[in-house]
Structure 1
């Protein structure tokens, strides 16, 4: 007897940039395509200026509306003065998934060498949703989706939402 199938994971994405538009948002388009190819249901995409209050409001709205099971951000994870995604996101997280950032940087090392340590990619849980912050480069997005998110996101969403297998009664 086979296990009951779960509905596809609903994923919303954001590109965080002060300069991108829908016309030139290559990273956002690639991220969406990679997630769809991995079997996820892309439910929304938007471009947000790198303003912490805009990110806080957008994430809160998605959680309030129960629009997405997971939220994947691209951009703003470096160390440049305008890179403020991590500072805006961290206080919103109920739990952090430290292994995600560690694994991302380890795998990135093979592609870009020591520059991998300049990435502050991270993942965590906010109000029962998995939230992931990724760099904006196409190579980074491909690596993150195919080597990290595709294998674990459905399970992580099930656990974070309380629908997974590690319940304590």
Structure 2
């Protein structure tokens, strides 16, 4: 499993960067502290071998109850013995996707993020554009292998997907299509095989 002490220390260091002379704590800062504690407590509920994901549907035309692709991704993760720490639905907005990803990778109980939807070439397909601008490191092989696996079923239509992955703040982020079959393929054959190793290798080494 991943040693997440380094991630927690890095986040603590970021918080400690606030001017020490400013001892006043606003309501928002207090709430943020409460949220962080909640995340850590939620993580403690998982077994030592459980790897927690966040699942995000990017869509303008369905509700959480109608999100069949998200259901499939959650089922695949849980069937593998891992956990879904949170599941969210966000509108197909560049800023909305970036804001959601930034929030999720900062959570102590999220070790990887899977998004579904918005990976095509239509005007409102903004997931890849938003995510890639957050990537500290790109993982081009993820999209390449996904398209290889998809070609047998999809043929040349495979070129229409911009499926990709990268590391954001030490957390792997995988951007999959909104199609149920494609999303299942990506999660079962790629994400679940590599997410934990990617998180381990991306984590900052403990220098103490």
Task: Answer whether TM exceeds 0.5 for this pair.
Answer: yes
TM-score, with length taken from structure 2? 0.73
Please identify which structure carries the higher helix content: 2
Shift of 1:41: 1.2
Residue 140 of structure 2 contacts residue 165 of structure 2 at CA under 8 Å; is this kept in 1?
A: yes
Whether 1:34 and 2:76 are equivalent positions in the alignment is yes
Choose the corresponding residue for 2:179, options 119, 137, 162.
137
Residues 1-150 of structure 1 aligned to structure 2 (within 5 Å): 7-150=49-192
| Alignment partners' CA distance in 2, 1:162 and 1:6 | 20
Whether 1:161 and 2:206 are equivalent positions in the alignment is no
Q: Unpaired runs of 5+ in structure 2?
A: 1-46
| Alignment partners' CA distance in 2, 1:125 and 1:63 | 10
Change (3 A) 1:45 1:17: same
**Corresponding residue SS for 1:12:** strand
**Which sits farther off after the overlay, 60-69 or 112-121?**
60-69
- State the aligned residue count: 161
Residue 105 of structure 2 contacts residue 112 of structure 2 at CA under 8 Å; is this kept in 1?
A: no
Q: Unpaired runs of 5+ in structure 1?
A: none
The CA deviation string for residues 121-151 of structure 1, in whole angstroms up to 9 with x for no partner, is 0010000000000001111012111111122
Larger CA Rg, structure 1 vs 2:
2
| Alignment partners' CA distance in 2, 1:160 and 1:131 | 12
TM-score, with length taken from structure 1? 0.89
| Alignment partners' CA distance in 2, 1:60 and 1:150 | 22
Root-mean-square deviation (Å): 1.8
